[in-house]
Amino acid sequence: MLKIVVCVSGGGTNLQAIIDGIANGSITNTEIVGVISNNHGVKSLDRAKAAGIPAFTICPREFSERADFHKAFLDKLAELAPDLIVLAGFLVKIPEEMVSAYPGRIINIHPSLIPSFCGVGYYGLRVHERALERGVKVTGATVHFVNEGMDEGPIISQKAVNVLDGDTPEVLQRRVMEEAEWILLPRAIDDYANGRIRMENGRCVRKV
């Protein structure tokens, strides 16, 4: 049974897709052993609680040094001892020590077709605002393994989503979630849990 920790920052619709996927059997061989949020009072925490999953908040603002926040975060992860860490709308830069401590064992969902609209400053609704400003006709979502770079790790899967006339950032965000994110992320976890994907030599290797 793959033990996963899901890291979140806000609404937690991707967390919900994972919880639902485990409940309905589209994600197999997987257990969520903890949810970590960097913000108090967010809906993600209610979703975890409703599903009976231990949830923790580690808030950077409550530490005077960034290094202390990183230590608290890494200590909590070590305590939960996950096989895989899932960044599901976790809008905080993760410490480099975390990448080296869990090589090939961290995945992230990003709401664009990487390498478009990604990297420093591209997160959450901002990604969709920039996509609309640029006038792209197709956007989407990407699941990737996490390495030291920002949104630069090996790509696991991507799905395109059409941009429609009159889209607002909120409307586009919702369509990208519905048509791409909530499908791709549960599927990637199921693939990982069942040995169909892994990170090897900086690439995502898929067993067919």
Question: What positions carry a catalytic annotation?
Answer: 110
Binding site for ligand GAR (CB under 6 A): 8, 10-14, 88-89, 91, 109-111, 123-124, 127, 177, 181
The dihedral region occupied by 129, where left means phi > 0, alpha psi between -120 and 50, and beta the remainder, is: alpha
* Amino acid in the structure at residue 81: A
Is 63 exposed, middle or buried (CB count within 10 Å of its CB: 0-12, 13-18, 19+)?
middle
Q: Closest separation between CB of residue 180 and ligand GAR, Å? A: 9
Q: Closest separation between CB of residue 204 and ligand GAR, Å? A: 18
CB atoms within 10 A of CB 60: 16
Cα–Cα distance, 35 to 43 (Å, whole number): 12
Would you say 2 or 87 has its CB closer to ligand GAR? 87
Residue nearest to ligand GAR (CB): 89
191 token code pair: 């693939």
Would you say 30 or 173 has its CB closer to ligand GAR? 173
Q: Closest separation between CB of residue 107 and ligand GAR, Å? A: 12
